[in-house]
Amino acid sequence: MGDWVAEFISYLSAERGLALNTLESYGRDLRQYWEYLKSQEENAALDRASRAVIVAYLLELQRQGKATATIARRLAALKAFYQFMVRENHLAEDPTANLESPKLERRLPKVLTVAEVDRILSQPDLGTAGGVRDSAMLELLYATGIRVSELVHLDLDAVDLDEGFIRCEGKGSKERMVPMGSMAVESTRRYLDRGRGRLVRDSREAALFVNHHGRRLTRQGFWKIVKRYARRAEIDKEITPHTLRHSFATHLLENGADLRSVQEMLGHADISTTQIYTHLTQGRLKEVYAKAHPRA
């Protein structure tokens, strides 16, 4: 099992250029499937699993109360793995062929109002190095809509303050250029002038945003910061790792930005992923219509 999975993960990395987090997710899903196979003694082999065994596995996940999205992701991992096994002649037939993924409920993302965003962005204390850093991170995240993982992986040379752009590496190691906006440029320049030098310990550190130990800030560390400021701002909505990203996209569309441009800034490979935000803006339009039209 280990050799085949390692070969598969190597293929995903080399041939398809998938990000490390995605590779780890595939490996984790396949290990959990292997654990299930081992519990079914007569079928404890990846190359002997039948369609019936895989269906039984998916039903077991459902019985355990796993979310539809989780089951769909596990099946996607199995499909990719068994397609690879057939292509490499380790298997004659793909046991996942024609297995349909469960239909996902498309939940609308939670977004903040412009006023709520302003309240959060006004919380950091600009008299401290940490506050200056936090202000720059929050402004940059809301100004660009990049993912939190992309934000914390920014290096110093990825930011062009004169031109007002950042160079961002997204999923599948795909690079894109995203405009920053004047307020994000101002707060990032302030951080570089007055904050980062007081935090960083090693002049060779490449990370743009560092923690109080002078090393690259982690995704988890940043979201603790965001939740703290959300509490201070008395925002009672649930804050997730993508809240400011969702808010960025929704506010752009509400103010007339075209979908293709928003798709490019978000780094979505498929425009259907971006279209979820049009549902939110349509809801907003209905509110405006109901308040403004005399016969609404």
Catalytic annotation, pick one of 147, 153, 246, 251: 147
Pair 108, 277: CB distance under 8 Å? no
Catalytic annotation, pick one of 119, 171, 227, 284: 171
How far is the C-alpha of 168 from the C-alpha of 146, rounded, in Å?
Answer: 8
Over 37-81, what HEC string results?
HHHCHHHCCCCCCCHHHHHHHHHHHHHCCCCHHHHHHHHHHHHHH
Catalytic annotation, pick one of 74, 196, 245, 246: 245
Is 26 marked active-site? Answer: no
Catalytic annotation, pick one of 110, 190, 242, 284: 242
Give me the sign of the Cα torsion angle 178, 179, 184, 186. positive
Pair 77, 26: CB distance under 8 Å? yes
Residue 3 is encoded by which pair of tokens?
């050799």
Pair 178, 144: CB distance under 8 Å? yes
Is 66 marked active-site? Answer: no
At 166, which helix (H) or strand (E)? strand 165-169
Pair 277, 246: CB distance under 8 Å? yes
How far is the C-alpha of 224 from the C-alpha of 231, rounded, in Å?
Answer: 11
Residue 154 is encoded by which pair of tokens?
């920014």
Is 48 marked active-site? Answer: no
Is 284 marked active-site? Answer: no
Q: What angle do CA 275, 277, 280 make, to 5 degrees?
A: 130
Is 73 marked active-site? Answer: no
Residue 173 φ/ψ region, left for φ over 0, alpha for ψ in the -120 to 50 degree band, beta for the rest: left
Q: Which residues contact 159 (CB under 8 A, 6 or more apart)?
A: 166, 167, 180, 188, 208
Is 176 marked active-site? Answer: no
Query: Which residue numbers are catalytic?
Result: 147, 171, 242, 245, 268, 277
